[in-house]
Amino acid sequence: MALLLETRAIIPILCVIGLMVYLSKQKKQDLILITFGLVIALTYEYLMVLSGMLYFKQSPFPFWLVLLWCALLLTLNTSMQFLNKLPWFFSLLVCAISAPASYWAGARFGVITISVPLLQFWLVYGVAWSCMFNLIMYLNKRFAQNSNQSSPQI
């Protein structure tokens, strides 16, 4: 949706994020995840733009991308929880294949400009994105474990 609507997608994405938080069974965990996950993810995106790997129409990246990251992060404790159950190397592989595919789709729609050859983008961006995302998943799991240990048992 954001690829096609770009800035016109901001209100619908905000509504989806609001609904995701409202329906969340782990609101505190999700808000912690968004806080540290966004810092890591947006730093990564910024570094990729700075490196010249890709460009967005808005510099360094559009606000709708920030919102997409929020929505993606909110899926980690629900629909994408299966990634935590995979052996680490499979999780890395899934992310390394799927992440560049979504950015490549964005480039096909003219929302993103990939400024290196596609194979190079897929390898470099995919591996780096996969490592970054798996770091976020690891930290999320650690925060969840710590909050479960500090919660009083009833």
On whether residue 151 sits in a domain, the answer given is no
Enclosing H/E stretch for 114 = strand 112-114
Interaxial angle between packed helices 63-74 and 10-23, expressed in degrees from 0 to 180 and rounded to the nearest 10: 20
Give bridge partners of residue 56 from the DSSP assignment. Answer: 112
Q: Which residue has the tokens 């899934």?
A: 94
End-to-end CA separation in angstroms for the chain: 43
On whether residue 152 sits in a domain, the answer given is no
On whether residue 110 sits in a domain, the answer given is yes
Number of domains in the chain: 1
Note down the domain range covering 115. 2-146
pLDDT digit string (tens) for the chain, length 154 residues = 555 556 777 899 999 999 999 999 989 999 999 999 999 999 999 999 999 999 998 889 999 999 999 999 999 988 888 888 888 899 999 999 999 999 999 999 888 999 999 999 999 999 999 999 999 999 999 988 887 776 555 4
On whether residue 9 sits in a domain, the answer given is yes
C-alpha 122/C-alpha 21 separation (Å) is 32
